[in-house]
Structure 1
Amino acid sequence: MKRKRSQIVAEIVDTERQYLDDLRILREVFVVPAIEAKALPPGDIKVLFGNLDAVIETAELVVSALEDAIAKSPDPEGQPLGSTFLSVLTPIERAYCEYCKHNEACVAKLGEYVSPECPEEIKAFLKERQAQLVGRTLAWDLASLVIKPVQRVLKYPLLLRELIKETQSAHPDYATLVEVQLRFERIATNINEVKKRKDIVDKYIEKKGNVNVIHGINKKFVRGTEMLKQKTGLSGDITLDSDYDRISTQFGDKATLVAVLKRDIAAWNDAVSKYVKAQESVYLGLEDIYKMNLDSADTRDLALYPSFQLLLDYRREATRVSSEVIRDAEKLSDRLVDMLDQLSAVFREPLLLMKKRNEKLLDFDRVRAIRAKGETPDSFLEQSAAEYPSINAQLIEELPLLTHHAQKYVGRIFDMLMVSQARIYVQLTETLAPIWENASVGTGAHWRSDDIVLEFQEAFRIGCEAEQLASQIDLLSSWWKVTWRK
């Protein structure tokens, strides 16, 4: 028994090392060149290789743990492989469940590559890369490499079962081996369940399957009736899911935020444009003030006023800065709106699936109500209701991740907007403010904006000369009584 157990331990460790080597070869020979040379579309790379990096990191962790266990106990009889695998179960489940749920899409994509419709440049790339495998691995092509993680995770329970057969029940690691073997079987079951959920989700996202128009109309009518019964309290037991309600509300809020943010960015761009264009109105108004002091209509006399040169400087700089600010604001606005459109496109499929989930929930509750009466629901309704748990579980698993990434994405948009707003402020203040600081009024003293406001308030206080003049102008009498005197 000891010799047999030693062989099984050696097989587990050796095959894990070889498996890790194959994963590294897959990345080196196919993934990296495909990305660097842009030989495959980005979407194809995602479908084919998924979270391969995470799978490689997990395989490295497993190999390291196994080698540590062997180093601590050279005697195969004393090597605690059960506790070793127990320590890496969580990362194994996380990495392989994610990888395996895309397996069918990966197989379909590989099928496209061998079809006559496949572009010749892709075929040439795969053929050239395949030649690099000779002498490095027993795998012969891309397909035989990408399937290895699926094969490996399903082989773990088989290897452990063989190890348990050759391990005495009194062995200190026996109970742990049994526990790990059962947990690996649950992982395999979970992977199948995740794949099943994804197949159901893909059916509705990609609108696969036949469409029965009459059946579809009937479903809408029955679901509408069920919804009305639930809202009026006439329905029986209603399925409640507080976790989904919370998660879906958070996701829905983010989808709404995107629409609001697009509107606000357009308003911001419009406000920036109006603000900088108003600088021309400021110049024209100040020019009119200068003209009021002229005895003739000849604007060339403005040259008699040295401070008028400052006004010309202001106009020139304001025109230059305004064109830059408007251009940069429009460019940023277009970019941010495009980013938000991309995010809206990402939201589209989950929102569709959420709607489908709510429809399936009505069918689910209706089936329960029918069975509670001792009756048998029709097969179409029963099949539809059976899809509710899978769709609901998929949404609960993935909506929080999407919401989190959407929050970071929107935060990045806010950062870009705030940086641009700060840049605009600096452009205006650093360029235009020094010109005003050099301006002088009356005695030639330099005035700041605060000084001007204080002088204005003093000049127009109640009882001042300006008020007396305003009260004597008939056209201003009504305004003077209602506004000024208040």
Structure 2
Amino acid sequence: MDDSSYEELNGKFTSASKMEEKQMKAIKELVETEKRYFTLLHLCATDIRNHLQFKQVPELDLEGLFGGTDEVLHVSSNLLKNLEDAATGKSDQVLLIKLEDAYKEYCANYENMLQLETNYKKNEIIWKEIAETLNEVGAHTGAITLTFFLVTPVQRIGKYPLLLKTVLENTAPSDEGYTALEKATVAMQELNYNINEYKRLKEVVTKYSRQENLSLRDTIGRINKHSIAKKASRLSQVIKHETGILPKVKDKDYDDSVKLFYIIEKNVTTLKKNTESFITNMEHFQNLRSYHYVPNLVEEHTTICYQEFIQILHQMIIPEFKRRLKSIIYEPLCALSNLFSSPQQLVKKHNDKFLDYEKIQEKIKEEGNASYEEKAAVETYKALHSLLLTELPKFNSIVLQLHAQILQAVMTIHRDLANNVLQFISQHLHEFLFSSKDNFWQQTEETLQKSSVKLEMFCQIFESMMEQAIEQPYNEEKLETLLKKYSPEKIYQVTSNVSGNKELDLTLQRGDLVALLQSTDTRGNTNRWLVDSGGHRGFVPGGKLSPLQPGKHLNNFPLSQCSSVGHIVDGAMSRRKSSPSPERPLCLLPEPMQYEVIAAYQFTARGPHEASLQPGQPVKILEAHDKKGNNEWYLVEVNGQRGYVPSNYLVKVPCTGWRKSFAL
């Protein structure tokens, strides 16, 4: 062997020795730094956390402050035990998957942890307790804030690819562990990429799912040229879609997920509202306390048993059922309903960003380039779409499971209610039994007869109270005009304002008088009547017309018109009585009741030409129209003051007993 060959061989041996030395040094650095990292992490996740938990500091959110540290500590412990396997071809892919799941949640929540610590620094009581814990537990580390510990997982996960790459660079390709080490390095790089991507998606979710309760001033303050241009661009895209100028891009998987999401949301909301109404009605039913008002319709013993049963039902069985309904059904439904707000916001933002994305793609096709902001908008849309496409089906699946469990609980508590009632009845059924079947039917008939008598008495009282109805003032000149052309039974009064919406419809005010020409329209519709309003003919709803009430014009017309007036009286009275009243001349009628006009509603004068009204206040009508002949305004005198008031604010009532009902 010559000198040159010897030197070349010696150089290769020296180079291999140096590479092996660097490899061992890199592996040693990886293991030792992992040990120091694990020690700090263990100190933070267990010692410091347990110390603060033992102090029971009020308003200190330990779960939010140390969220995810337990999972990171667990995978770090396993990684430390298995670091040597990476160089011997035993790369643990399961461990890498667990490592990614633990670190991506921790890194995504890291900003929230820092924000919590910042808030606690402003609270002297909480921060004093945290500082004392750091001095007692972590004094040897020199840490004065929790950030010193909380940032270590974020820093550590980024160092793994660098450390593994160093080991890989100092490992010969012929080494048996080179392939496994190379795979571990690539996997760790992908892990860091996935964590950063997940963190970016989480930031997008946080940004667009946040609910903003802006005032009108703040909303107007956000309007600028950029926002107006963006809204106009989106509106343009929507119009193109709806008119068919631009075909809609469809993603079946995404569309199906969104459709299912809204179906589930509607079902949950409906079930929540129905449950709330059910609980409210149940409370009203309990407040009735019907066991206090049991009529003595059967024998005394049975009545007492029934009262006891209803009392136990109201005081024990129903309250327990309502408690379970609230805790097992209603409260979970409220919590479940609140979960829909964030996905709804994301779906809404996705639709907006999709319109922006389409517009930008059109621009790229035409110009071949896009601005930095437009590229960022494209990336935001892709992130939102990817996130919803992945997470929305999971959300739907979980909510469906919860919804099914709630429905099962609904059936369970109703079944328990029925069982409890049946069990109680079976124990006391013998107390309700009658001595014989005939006795039962006899008491049933007696009960129905007594109930019928009470119902008839109620109807009589109701009819007597309805004899005197509150009537509206009217234009006496118009009545006289209509009576000259039509018979009294054709005269009707408008019971509420009528607004004509169709051709040939009339617009009338409450209290106006009309003459009935035909009780159907041209198509035979019996709900639309043809009338004459004293000059104009047209159609009005038949349900808003009532025959002219008796006694309204008895004091204002001569006896020569008594026969006509008598028909009006008899016709109106026959509607209120169950049996028709006989025809009789007006001169045989008793002296009619006196009426007065009062204010039915409050009205505040808006100028010197108007008068103010208070409910129940007597009013003297001077002119049943304004200066232009409009009968919507009356000239009246109230408390010595004259002015115009709306005619539909006035009513005509008997002189006794009615004013108090308006003066509330």
Q: Do both share a fold (TM > 0.5)?
A: yes
Match for 2:197: what amino acid?
E
Choose which of 88, 101, 105 in structure 2 pairs with 1:98: 105
| Structure 2 match to 1:145 | 149
Match for 2:361: what amino acid?
R
Choose which of 166, 169, 179 in structure 2 pairs with 1:165: 169
| Structure 1 match to 2:199 | 195
| Structure 1 match to 2:361 | 368
Q: Aligned in 2, Cα 1:344/1:252: closer, same or farther, shift over 3 Å?
A: same
| Structure 1 match to 2:36 | 18
| Structure 2 match to 1:223 | 234
Judging by fraction of residues, say which structure has more helix: 1
Could you tell me whether the CA contact under 8 Å between 1:314 and 1:432 is conserved in 2? no
Match for 1:352: what amino acid?
Q
Choose which of 232, 240, 243 in structure 1 pairs with 2:250: 240
Instruction: Give the Cα separation in 2 of the matches to 1:339 and 1:398.
Output: 22
Instruction: Give the Cα separation in 1 of the matches to 2:371 and 2:265.
Output: 37
Instruction: Give the Cα separation in 1 of the matches to 2:71 and 2:347.
Output: 29
| Structure 1 match to 2:130 | 126
Match for 2:304: what amino acid?
L
Match for 2:270: what amino acid?
V
Could you tell me whether the CA contact under 8 Å between 1:80 and 1:173 is conserved in 2? yes
| Structure 2 match to 1:299 | none
1:261 deviates by 1.4
1:38 deviates by 4.8
Instruction: Give the Cα separation in 2 of the matches to 1:261 and 1:120.
Output: 46
1:434 deviates by 2.4
TM-score of the pair, normalised by structure 1 = 0.73
Instruction: Give the Cα separation in 1 of the matches to 2:225 and 2:211.
Output: 17
Q: Which has the larger radius of gyration?
A: 2
Match for 1:230: what amino acid?
H
SS of the residue corresponding to residue 91 of structure 2 reads helix
Instruction: Give the Cα separation in 1 of the matches to 2:377 and 2:253.
Output: 22
Match for 1:50: what amino acid?
G
Could you tell me whether the CA contact under 8 Å between 1:33 and 1:39 is conserved in 2? no
Could you tell me whether the CA contact under 8 Å between 1:247 and 1:400 is conserved in 2? yes
1:259 deviates by 0.8
Instruction: Give the Cα separation in 1 of the matches to 2:129 and 2:396.
Output: 37
| Structure 2 match to 1:356 | 349
Deviation track 1:428-472 (CA, whole Å, cap 9, x = no partner) reads 122223222454434499xxxxxx9xx99xxxxxxxxxxxxxxxx
Could you tell me whether the CA contact under 8 Å between 1:223 and 1:362 is conserved in 2? yes
Judging by fraction of residues, say which structure has more strand: 2
Instruction: Give the Cα separation in 2 of the matches to 1:276 and 1:433.
Output: 23
Match for 2:254: what amino acid?
Y
Deviation track 1:25-74 (CA, whole Å, cap 9, x = no partner) reads 212234345456553647x545433322222222232233336x4xxxxx
Deviation track 1:96-148 (CA, whole Å, cap 9, x = no partner) reads 1121122233333333344xxx1112111211221233366575541111111
Q: Aligned in 2, Cα 1:35/1:198: closer, same or farther, shift over 3 Å?
A: same
Q: Aligned in 2, Cα 1:59/1:375: closer, same or farther, shift over 3 Å?
A: closer
| Structure 1 match to 2:69 | 52
Cα RMSD, aligned residues only:
3.7
Which 10-residue stretch deviates more, 368-377 or 218-227? 368-377
Choose which of 422, 429, 433 in structure 1 pairs with 2:426: 433
Could you tell me whether the CA contact under 8 Å between 2:48 and 2:137 is conserved in 1? no
Could you tell me whether the CA contact under 8 Å between 1:22 and 1:145 is conserved in 2? yes
TM-score of the pair, normalised by structure 2 = 0.55
Q: Aligned in 2, Cα 1:260/1:129: closer, same or farther, shift over 3 Å?
A: same
Instruction: Give the Cα separation in 1 of the matches to 2:397 and 2:149.
Output: 33
Instruction: Give the Cα separation in 1 of the matches to 2:345 and 2:97.
Output: 32
Aligned residues: 417
Choose which of 254, 257, 273 in structure 1 pairs with 2:264: 254
State the identity as a percent.
Answer: 22
1:262 deviates by 1.0
Unpaired segments ≥5 residues, structure 1: 70-78, 291-301, 303-307, 446-451, 457-486
Could you tell me whether the CA contact under 8 Å between 2:45 and 2:73 is conserved in 1? no
RCO higher in structure (CA 8 A, sep ≥6)? 1
| Structure 1 match to 2:317 | 325
2:220 paired with 1:213: no
Q: Aligned in 2, Cα 1:437/1:249: closer, same or farther, shift over 3 Å?
A: farther
Instruction: Give the Cα separation in 2 of the matches to 1:111 and 1:357.
Output: 33
Which 10-residue stretch deviates more, 377-386 or 244-253? 377-386
Deviation track 1:300-324 (CA, whole Å, cap 9, x = no partner) reads xx4xxxxx52442232132122222
Aligned pairs for 1:314-463 within 5 A: 314-335=306-327, 336-374=329-367, 376=369, 381-411=374-404, 413-414=406-407, 416-443=409-436
Q: Aligned in 2, Cα 1:54/1:255: closer, same or farther, shift over 3 Å?
A: farther
